[in-house]
Structure formats: structure tokens, C-alpha cells
Amino acid sequence: RLLTSKRAPREEPVEPFLTLLSFCRYYFPCQRWLAVEEDDGQIARELVPVDEAFVKKDSENDGQSPATLGLEQKAKSTTYSVKVKTGDKKNAGTDANVFIILYGNKDDTGIVSLKASKINKNKFERGKVDEFTVESVDIGDLKKIKIGHDNKGNSTGWFLEWVEIDAPSLGQCLKFPCGRWLDKSEDDGATERIIFPAELQTVEYIPFVPYEITVYTSDIFGAGTDADVFIVLYGSDGICTQQKSLCLNKREQRMYFERNSVNQFIVELEDVGDIIEKIRIGHNGGGLNSGWHLDRVTIRRLLPNGK
């Protein structure tokens, strides 16, 4: 027999769900371009939260400039260099919009459009190699990729030879061989493929670390430069980094290194150790105003433990 009680249920006070969240505020600064012809060419970015101190006004933040917001984001990201080889076959090139997803053992990058090739104006042409920059939060060790296109345009079919991904923070350069069509009228008709790395073609090296490089241009007439500024770091025992340009493109060269300016960069370079014995900094002498009067440079090695 089912017994029921006439006693009214006890009502517990319930706080609205939104009230519980009202004290949690997350800051996702960007301060970077989302444009094909600017910065690294990406039109979508992953943003990670930063401490509230980074979004305070200069007077409340010990002189921190708002320009450091995007750098704080970049310091928490990993940069991948992605090279894509289009096959040397008839009609191998494509006019479609190509995308890629990188999968790691922790996470994935989500869909990344490959729009701005660093090598060729007309990308994905027959027999050509295109290079792209992909930034993401840490996804862990690379396990596979998905690459494909939207099948839009006059010539959509594409023969993909291989993809090579250099991950400096992991100290790995991985080759993803394909050698197949991504074409609705060729092969199996697929326009996207999942590809795994060829273990025997993986190159390993000492992982890179991010450095925060702050450059101070002097306050004298004609001190600024439009040239391509580069830097090399030297550690103990003869260890040094590659020569690295601080600007990504000519627009940044015109915008940075002005008279009496302070410009800050996050650059992934070979780890030269705890002690930087010297640096080499210079430029290529290009641009309308190449002469440069440099005041000083400060460098901070960024590591997960905060050193």
C-alpha cells in the first residue's frame, strides 16, 4: 500500500545561479589583429584569461602598458609553423578555403583557416610549399591533424602531398604524409582527411622557450627606424639562438621602433640557459629611414615556474 504524507515539503532557500557567478570575472584581452594581411594572418584567436592586474589603468598597474595585454596572452600560447606541400600533378592546386585542426594529447586547436601564406601570394598552387603560423594554447604532444577545404571556388579539387608541423616548444618537427586527392570527383570523394605523423620522419631537438624582449629607442632626432630589426641571444658554453626578426611584417617595421618608444615582444627561441652572456641586435638597413639609435634592451626568460 502506497503511503502519502500531507506534510508540506520543507522549502530550502535557493540562491539564483547567476548570483553565484557574479563574483567571478574573467578577463580575456587580445590587443592583436584578426586580419589576413596583419600580424600572423589569423582571423580567429584562442584567448586565455589573465590576472585582473593586467587590465587596470596604467596609474593603477605600476606602469604596465595596455600593449602588454596581448603579450601576456601570447606568452601563454604555443606557436606552430605549418608547411603544406601541394602535389606536382595536373590540376593539383585549389582555390577553395583550406582549414586545419591540430590534435594533441591534451586538447586540439579547433578549426584554423590557412589564409595567409608566408611564402606565396597565391597559395596552394601546383608543386608549391606554403607556410603558415598557427597559435594555440598548449594542446600537448601532437598526435594527428585534420586538413580539408570547403569545396568553394572555381577550382576546388586539391592534391595534398604532405604537411609538416614544427613545434618549437615541444622540440619536434613532424611530417604528416598524405599523397591523396581532396576532391569530390577524385579518389574516394573526401574533401578532408585525418593524417597521422610518420614516426621515422620526426625530427627532435631541444625545445624552445619564450623570451620577453623589451626594446627602448632613444629620444633624439631621427632615432627611429623602419628597417627589419633582428636579435641573437648568447648563453654560456657557446650556446646561441638563431637570428630572429622581431617584426612579423613590413607594417610592424613601420609601426615599431619609433623615437622615444618602448616595444615589447614575446619570441620563442632556443633555450640558452639561465644566464644570457650577451646579445647581438641589429637591422637589415632597409626601409626609408633605416638608421636607428638604440637606448637599451631588457630580456626576461619566461618559464612555467615563473623564473
Q: Which domains does the chain have, with CATH numbers?
A: 24-63+207-301 (2.60.60.20), 78-204 (2.60.60.20)
Distance CA 45, CA 250 (A): 22
Separation in Å, CA 160 to CA 117, 125, 178, 294: 16, 10, 6, 46
Distance CA 227, CA 106 (A): 40
Distance CA 75, CA 267 (A): 9
pLDDT in tens, 26-77: 666 666 666 676 667 766 676 666 666 555 544 344 444 544 555 555 656 7
One-letter amino acid for residue 205 of the chain: Y
pLDDT in tens, 189-206: 999 999 999 999 999 998
pLDDT value of residue 12? 52
For cell 641573437, the residue is: 232
Distance CA 13, CA 23 (A): 20
For cell 657557446, the residue is: 238
pLDDT in tens, 93-105: 999 999 999 999 9
Contact between residue 102 and residue 158 where contact means Cβ atoms under 8 Å apart? no
Distance CA 285, CA 282 (A): 9
Grade residue 301 by pLDDT with cuts at 50, 70 and 90. Answer: confident
Residue 7, pLDDT > 60, answer: no
% of the chain with per-residue pLDDT over 90:
47
| Among 28, 30, 32, residue whose Cα is nearest residue 248 | 32
Q: Which helix (H) or strand (E) holds 252?
A: helix 250-255
Cell representation of residue 96: 577553395
Cell representation of residue 111: 578549426
